[in-house]
Amino acid sequence: MNDKIRRSWWPEAAALAGFAALTLALVNGHLLALDERIAEWSLTHQPAPVYWTARVFNYLGQGGQVLMPVTLILTGLLFWRTRSVRALLPFVVTFALTYCTIGPMKVFFDRAAPRFPLENRAVMFNPDASGKLAMSYPSGHVANALVWFAVIGLLLAMLLRRDLSRREWLLLRVAPVVIVFVTTVYTGFHWLTDSIAGLFLGLVLVRLLGRIPWGLRSDPGARPHHPIQRQVGGEDHQVGA
């Protein structure tokens, strides 16, 4: 467990409160005009080179096509090196956690995306939208970028047998989230408030993952105390570190 995360539940509580307050405001019709103004500007200022550049970079938040395959490759490398089933746990737990939270919320809130052709497109529980047309809130791209890049950082630290440097941490944990947030709004895939909600939700999930004692260790010279309790090495690394 990450000691920095263990000391307080306030960040999770604040993020949940922010998510709840934002959701309640949207359900009651607030902030919809702001969302529509930003979406209208974005959709009318999309020269082809800028739009397609943004769309390519937006794949940094694509869970099924990009982030999960990359995480699976790193998981396979770590498992091959350690021969420990513990190496599989970050991927399995993260997949289960995101699958049971992000997807059901998108279905429940039933909000259409900015490109939805009918009126009242920004409202929550949209009666005119259904299926894939009504899965905008919260933004899965933003939440995925927060959560899966945190797990990728953990696996890379294990494979490199050291902590990530500050520059590496910024490039891996901060830059993708900022890029996905901006491009998701600019391309019209999500409303601004969808992406903010994705930030709140992703922060909660990352903090929860950071509280799990994975038993993954980075010192290759360390040996397990028991043949069944095989470890990866010496210094513990955590998702939220």
The reply to whether 55 falls in a domain is yes
The reply to whether 181 falls in a domain is yes
Q: Does residue 102 have a pLDDT over 60?
A: yes
The reply to whether 23 falls in a domain is yes
Range(s) of the domain holding residue 144 = 3-210
What DSSP letter does each residue of 107-166 carry, written as one string? HHH----TT--SSSTT-SS-TT--GGGG--SS-HHHHHHHHHHHHHHHHHHHHHTSPPPH
Q: Does residue 1 have a pLDDT over 80?
A: no
* Interval 154-188: pLDDT, tens: 999 889 988 888 888 888 989 999 999 999 999 99
Where does the pLDDT of residue 236 fall: very low under 50, low under 70, confident under 90, or very high at 90 and above? low
pLDDT at position 237 = 60
- Is pTM, for the whole model, over 0.75? yes
The reply to whether 131 falls in a domain is yes
The reply to whether 229 falls in a domain is no
pLDDT at position 37 = 96
The reply to whether 216 falls in a domain is no
The reply to whether 228 falls in a domain is no
**Residue 232 three-state SS:** coil
The overall average pLDDT reported for the chain is 87
Where does the pLDDT of residue 12 fall: very low under 50, low under 70, confident under 90, or very high at 90 and above? very high
Distances (CA, A) of 143 to 7, 69, 83, 188: 23, 17, 31, 17
Please enumerate in sequence order all residues whose Cβ is within 8 A of that of 93, keeping only pairs 6 or more positions apart, or say none. Answer: 209, 212
The reply to whether 224 falls in a domain is no
pLDDT at position 224 = 37
Residue 135's Cα: distance from chain center in Å? 16
Number of folded domains in the chain? 1
Judged by average pLDDT, the poorest of 58-62, 71-75, 130-134, 142-146 is 130-134
Identity of the residue numbered 145: A
* Interval 40-63: pLDDT, tens: 999 999 999 999 999 999 999 988
